[in-house]
Structure 1
């Protein structure tokens, strides 16, 4: 594989793209076991129950038939407590952690909110009375994945950079002046640039970051103008994870407006 030396989460941030077309090959049993081994500690830490469900193409039958997806059959079921925005934020944060791990193993992924049959998906995973199925992540081998594995890391980085539009750094730091941006530490800029590569519902990218020089913290807030009310908490969690990976070391407080303390 042309990118064997690129094994860190920041490398996955730099090459992950939304994959809609998959090869028909089932996920290898050994790869599935590795993913399950990743899920166990993440579920323990997060208080969620993220589950890998394989070989259920009926869940995506309509999207596959319309051509919106191709050969989608496997998914991560994102299950968590009912009516809990913080849990939805944690779901975005920790499920995206699984997505990035899968990326490093040559798998493709796609967060879905509408291109699936939620009731059919719920039939194939564990959901307790006090839980609900938030969202799903399609997972599998990208179409022509053997060819894709031969592509170099730099080529995949360039493909990610050019394959979709993204808001600018200035838009991601709306509310900061040019002087404040220039004075912010490098880790803050690196964190925002990683968050710019995060997936979000309908690519709305609803999260805005700021830096407070008085105490050296960063903050992440949902922009209500982004029109992302249904998936905002989930998207906030995803963006926070990408920021944390880009910034290097540090930890977020949960919630809209939660602070990041760099270590």
Structure 2
């Protein structure tokens, strides 16, 4: 698995990629991704699977221009009717996506821009499981020029790539005085979570810090609208944990983070 500093780098340069080059993912990279997925599946109690060279899964999205040359996918399979598993799916599949970012690949979380029935033909799903979501993966369009960019250039591209809610919005349950007094690890965690992908870019997760217990909590902001809120919660928690440096989350809306 990637080291902490590398995961921070991945968070700082990751963007949602909709246009891909046609060049297939090479065998060595595919093998490394599969090994990462296998390891993460054991931690997550999920059944994520890598599907390569299947543009038919994205036929409609590619034809409409919503995506371009999408052909590869991580299908996130987990138990039916299990809200916690959907949160775990966000947390752990985003870890795989960040590992792919470190290998120079582009990724995109998708809920409706893929043909689930077509994808199901290429994965193993038991009667007690269902595919939750997918992560498109591949070489970003013009990927050779992309790889030639410096880390600072990629960080700047991410900064200007899409708008994000403010730190104050991400900590809406806190006062200005509480924000100022919060420890650096909390602030760094929130800043990393601000860079997390979310359904329709709604960014529906907020964080609070309890000074008396020295814990953080993550909350689903219901006013942000419907979407894949539990999945978004898991993704945001992972980004926060990486930004904070060390610690562990409890699952669930309102789950606590204990910094170590």
User: Would the TM-score normalized by the shorter structure come out above 0.5?
Assistant: yes
The equivalent residue for 2:254 is 257
> 1:205 & 1:212 partners in 2: Cα distance?
22
Check if 1:221 corresponds to 2:219: yes
The equivalent residue for 1:75 is 73
1:7 Cα deviation (Å)? 6.4
2:76 aligned counterpart, secondary structure = strand
1:40 Cα deviation (Å)? 1.2
> 2:216 & 2:146 partners in 1: Cα distance?
36
TM-score, normalised on structure 2?
Answer: 0.98
Q: Is the 8 A contact 1:222 1:232 kept in 2?
A: yes
Alignment size in residue pairs: 257
> 2:171 & 2:131 partners in 1: Cα distance?
32
Q: What are the ranges of 5 or more consecutive residues in structure 1 without an aligned counterpart?
A: 1-5
The equivalent residue for 1:35 is 33
> 1:148 & 1:163 partners in 2: Cα distance?
14
RMSD of Structure 2 on Structure 1 (CA): 0.9
1:64 aligned counterpart, secondary structure = helix
2:78 aligned counterpart, secondary structure = strand
> 1:254 & 1:243 partners in 2: Cα distance?
14
1:8 aligned counterpart, secondary structure = helix
2:48 aligned counterpart, secondary structure = strand
> 1:7 & 1:58 partners in 2: Cα distance?
37
Kindly report which structure 2 residues correspond to 1:1-263, keeping only aligned pairs within 5 A, or say none: 8-228=6-226, 230-263=227-260
> 1:149 & 1:97 partners in 2: Cα distance?
21
> 2:182 & 2:17 partners in 1: Cα distance?
34
The more displaced of 113-122 and 147-156 is: 113-122
Q: What are the ranges of 5 or more consecutive residues in structure 2 without an aligned counterpart?
A: none
